[in-house]
């Protein structure tokens, strides 16, 4: 019989889902939003015109190209790989979900290193995959020896490494990535390097991808391309891995307009790189200003900065910022992040508004 509760006709979900909290970012009506790592600058006006032209060219009464052939070909050309090494989906979160649908599930586990991106654990549990948690050092870098020991003992099907790490901004050294990749391969598992913020960082794992290596690198259009509203992401990996992801993706999961928008964005590489450069420069300015206030600041290779007020409760500071119409991310409830706040790099005007508010609160 189907499990029921006291309400007539109400069917109960899986036990593990019933106990699970959803993943949400607060969406409040404020003047300055620095909480979801969006680009503070939109794409150029010419991109909007290209999107409008793409919308006019869509054959709306027909299904889209199920394989997203042109989109995958253009992404592949940008990264110097073959189109059949690229998998695209509705944001990198759906890419991660498909990875776990194919390689996770009952009787398998995924490894994460806390504190890190909460969706890795959340999506693992949603797909019925057990989660094994390793720990980062106090400075949020990875202890390679401890990580290798965890992989050897737990033998996860998927090991997640977020670099730059969210929410700390930490960029993992190349030898650490290579060591984890070797460990995952030796135990029959995959290493997934989540590079949602890679364009803001000094290095990437993309050049380690080949057809013999169990490595998947995920990217998103949301941050680098200033397209959070489009929900488009992709993975670069071995051909055999991409073929398995194609099996678990829903039919026609990428609509025709989204494919066209993703293609159009790739005609604006110079604009993207200029925008990324401006954000990196502003990140330096923001970090320098924060260092002069009563907060601890972690070095970041992403488009955000993690801080912890030294003599004030972080949640209280967050609320006082909201009271001043400035929204940042309250990370206090995340593993090992008591009192921490994550600040998206905004425009200079937005960042000054935040800095002035924070100085007023701490002063």
Least confident among 3-12, 88-97, 262-271, 277-286? 3-12
Strand order of the sheet with strand 86-89? 86-89, 233-236, 215-220, 190-194, 158-162, 109-114, 130-135
CB-based contact 66:251 (threshold 8 Å): yes
Least confident among 22-31, 76-85, 307-316? 22-31
Residue 20, pLDDT above cutoff 60: no
Residue 249: which of 350, 102, 59 has the closest Cα? 102
* Domain boundaries defined on the chain: 15-43+270-362, 63-265
Q: In the Cβ-directed half-sphere of 234, how many Cα atoms lie within 13 Å? A: 27
First-last CA distance in the chain: 62
CATH 3.40.50.720, domain 63-265, yes or no: no
Residue 16, pLDDT above cutoff 80: no
Structure tokens at 195: 């590079």
Q: pLDDT of 211-264, one tens digit each?
A: 999 999 999 999 999 999 999 999 999 999 999 999 999 999 999 999 999 999
Residue 25, pLDDT above cutoff 80: no
* Residue showing tokens 């924060």: 290
Residue 115: which of 340, 296, 314 has the closest Cα? 340
Structure tokens at 21: 């909290």
Q: pLDDT of 137-184, one tens digit each?
A: 999 999 999 999 999 999 999 999 999 999 999 999 999 999 999 999
Structure tokens at 228: 């959070």
Q: Cis omega (within 30 of 0) on the bond before 115?
A: yes
In this predicted model, which residue has the larger pLDDT, 14 or 322?
322
Q: Cis omega (within 30 of 0) on the bond before 246?
A: no
Q: pLDDT of 266-314, one tens digit each?
A: 999 999 999 999 999 999 999 999 999 999 999 999 999 999 999 899 9
pLDDT at 1: 45
Residue 17, pLDDT above cutoff 70: no
pLDDT at 14: 77
Residue 8, pLDDT above cutoff 80: no
pLDDT at 13: 82
pLDDT at 192: 98
How far apart (Å, rounded) are the C-alpha atoms in residues 99 and 84?
A: 16
**Which of 1-10's residues contact partners 24+ apart within 8 Å by CB, and which partners?**
none
User: What is the average pLDDT value for the chain, to the nearest integer?
Assistant: 94
Assigned architecture for domain 15-43+270-362 = Alpha-Beta Complex (3.90)
The length of the chain is 363
How far apart (Å, rounded) are the C-alpha atoms in residues 262 and 51?
A: 9
Helix axes 256-265, 45-57, angle to 10 degrees: 150
Structure tokens at 48: 């909007």
């Amino acid at each position: 019989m189907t499990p029921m509760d006291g309400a007539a006709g109400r069917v109960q979900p899986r036990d593990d889902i019933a106990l699970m909290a959803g993943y949400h970012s607060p969406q409040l009506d404020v003047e300055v939003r620095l909480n979801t790592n969006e680009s503070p600058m939109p794409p150029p006006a010419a991109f909007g015109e290209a999107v409008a032209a793409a919308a006019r060219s869509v054959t709306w009464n027909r299904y889209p190209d199920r394989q997203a052939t042109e989109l995958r070909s253009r992404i592949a050309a940008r990264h110097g790989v073959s189109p059949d090494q690229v998998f695209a989906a509705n944001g990198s979160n759906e890419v991660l979900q498909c990875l776990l649908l194919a390689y996770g599930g009952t009787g398998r586990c995924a490894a994460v290193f806390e504190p890190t991106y909460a969706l890795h654990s959340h999506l693992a549990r949603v797909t019925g995959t057990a989660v094994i948690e390793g720990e980062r050092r106090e400075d949020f870098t990875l202890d390679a020896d401890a990580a290798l020991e965890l992989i050897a003992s737990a033998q996860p099907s998927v090991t997640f490494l977020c670099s730059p790490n969210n929410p700390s901004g930490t960029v993992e050294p190349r030898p650490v990535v290579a060591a984890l990749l070797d460990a995952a391969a030796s135990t029959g598992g995959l290493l997934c390097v989540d590079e949602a913020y890679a364009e803001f960082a000094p290095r990437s794992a993309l050049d380690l991808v080949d057809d013999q290596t169990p490595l998947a690198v995920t990217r998103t259009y949301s941050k680098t391309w200033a397209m959070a509203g489009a929900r488009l992401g992709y993975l670069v990996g071995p051909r055999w891995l991409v073929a398995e992801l194609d099996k678990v993706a829903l039919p026609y999961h990428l609509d025709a307009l989204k494919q066209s928008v993703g293609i159009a964005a790739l005609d604006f590489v110079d604009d993207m790189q200029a925008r990324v450069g401006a954000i990196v420069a502003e990140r330096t300015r923001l970090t320098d200003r924060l260092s002069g206030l009563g907060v601890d600041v972690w070095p970041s290779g992403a488009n955000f900065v993690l801080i912890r007020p030294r003599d004030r409760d972080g949640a209280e500071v967050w609320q006082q910022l909201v009271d001043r119409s400035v929204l940042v991310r309250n990370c206090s409830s995340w593993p090992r992040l008591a009192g921490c706040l994550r600040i998206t790099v905004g425009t200079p005007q937005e960042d000054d508004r935040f800095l002035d508010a924070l100085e007023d609160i701490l002063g």
